[in-house]
Amino acid sequence: MQRRRQKIIKRRKMSTAGIKSSKRSPPKVETMVSTWGDDPGDPSVQPALQPITVAVPNFAPQPLPFKISGPTPPPAVYQVGTPNFRFYAAAVALRRTADFWGLIIPQGTPWQVGKVLPVILDDGEDLNAFYTRGEFGEPPGLHFFHQEVRGTTYFSGESPDIVCHEMGHGVLDAIRPQLFNAQTIEAAAFHESFGDMSAILSALQVPEFRNEVIDETAGTINRSSRLSRLAEQLGAAIRVMHPDSVDPDCLRNAANSFFYRDPQTLPPSAPAAQLSSEPHSFSRVFTAAFLDALAGIVKLQATSPRAGDLLKASQDMGRILVGGIMAAPVVPDYYSQVAAHMVEVGQDSPFTGKYKDVLKSAFVRRGILSLQAATTVGRETKERRRKAAMTPMMAWAKSQPSELPKASIAAAHYGLKRGVLKVHTAEEPKRYAVTSSSLTLAPLEPRSAQNAAESFTEDLFQRGRVDYASYASPESGFIHTLANKTHVITEENGDLLLRRRTFDCGFDAFRVG
């Protein structure tokens, strides 16, 4: 009987072996998408860069959630130049940047624009990109654009360098909202530097890119390379129209030779080869010091660094940077305060002082810390630093007013209807009496908050960055023809108030309406 059952079962299996199931197999779900490792590069340079394939980015709510407007294309390895490729190039860069900073900034930090950061990948024609809180009519979040230049259409949202830079503005606004309206050159320039530092650190999270950086720089990463050259593609587009307004091989190169200058002594604009008080230009001083320090940290990991050493250095540097920002007061000489507090963070657990000399050296070499300042930082007792380390950064951040105090400046020569303009002044109390270096290499005499506000306001009006709204004097006022406005005149309790509208990339600095 047992043998008979086995024969029957065997015959049934044989009779059904060639019959296919009537049920359809579920459609294959793609798990990989194509994207750029960093910026797509100058299209005139051959051979052209090739995209990489990575895992589909996670769109589920996470720390620092974002939402790209419009429908989400099904995941796939799309062709370069298609809208779906551009979508995932941006989505991957945004996710990577959000994941990087989300593990570093205080847990529970919200965006200034709401629970989710909105992203508009193509908001019209312009060589520009910007971050805005959306307080003056425009949608909040990140805005990217496109523009045709001599037959080639450039999309700012396609470049991870630009995308990570703009999200950097949102991250810094989340952890230090006081900087948004701070009326001082160094606060505005630091916002731009943080965007570039965000692009650099985010790029180092890509394994393939880390290997390329090691090969290109032989492990000395503060040499000019794909890592230091930011936004090569859009830099190429701008160079066609304004050759001296950007670097020869990119928008801005973090590997530069700029030394700190009192920004109030600099012209409001200058060719890319020179330093000016314009925030994008002046940002390059801090970004260069940051890259020098990062290179030093990499070398401390290993004499002949490998890709893993770059990853560890980027994570440590991100923590040191955020720690310095959270502790530094918003003052006119903001660069030196952030630098001093970064050195202090580098002395505390878990770094235990191993990065102290690297950080000091980088900031002194660029003049951001004077020699005297470098010897002052870190003298406080270990016990005080231990107690400070026990204070959660988020608790400290929540204890700070979200806006800086206001002061009045004379505004008659700006062509306004009234002679007084209110601005937010950078005058939080200092803990370190340090400044940057002067041209004589002695400590720079710090500027007053009032003087710094007047200087930055003058720059903004000279560059045509202020929207007068309805407050221009009919007799002496004029409407500057520059199209893009980063600041706007509003009215509050009967007073005229200057407020920031956007942090833009400055691509359209010469475009007129």
The pLDDT of residue 216: 97
Identify whether residues 386 and 443 lie together within a single domain.
no
The Cα 180–Cα 188 span in angstroms is 8
Q: Which residue, of 399, 428, 463, is where some domain finishes?
A: 399
DSSP 192-212: HHHHHHHHHHHHTT-HHHHHH
pLDDT band at 86 (very low <50, low <70, confident <90, very high): very high
Structural domain includes residue 22: no
Q: Which residue, of 399, 424, 444, is where some domain finishes?
A: 399
Identify whether residues 176 and 291 lie together within a single domain.
yes
The Cα 496–Cα 513 span in angstroms is 25
Identify whether residues 138 and 244 lie together within a single domain.
yes
pLDDT at 14 over 60: no
Task: Name the percent of the chain in helix, strand, coil, to the closest 5.
Answer: 40, 15, 45
Q: Edge-to-edge, what's the strand order for the sheet holding 420-424?
A: 406-410, 420-424, 495-500, 487-492, 466-467
pLDDT band at 17 (very low <50, low <70, confident <90, very high): very low
Identify whether residues 390 and 413 lie together within a single domain.
no
Identify whether residues 216 and 288 lie together within a single domain.
yes
Structural domain includes residue 17: no
**pTM for the model:** 0.91
Which pLDDT tens digit goes with each residue over 470-482?
898 877 666 677 6
Note down the domain range covering 480: 406-504
Q: Which residues are CB-neighbours of 104 under 8 A, at least 6 positions away? A: 315, 318, 319, 322
The Cα 268–Cα 252 span in angstroms is 17
416-434: average pLDDT: 91
Structural domain includes residue 1: no
pLDDT at 119 over 80: yes
Which pLDDT tens digit goes with each residue over 326-364?
999 999 999 999 999 999 999 887 888 899 999 999 999
Q: Which residues are CB-neighbours of 391 under 8 A, at least 6 positions away? A: none
Lookup: tokens for 497: 């108030």
320-325: average pLDDT: 97
Which pLDDT tens digit goes with each residue over 256-287?
999 999 999 999 999 999 999 999 999 999 99
Identify whether residues 490 and 433 lie together within a single domain.
yes
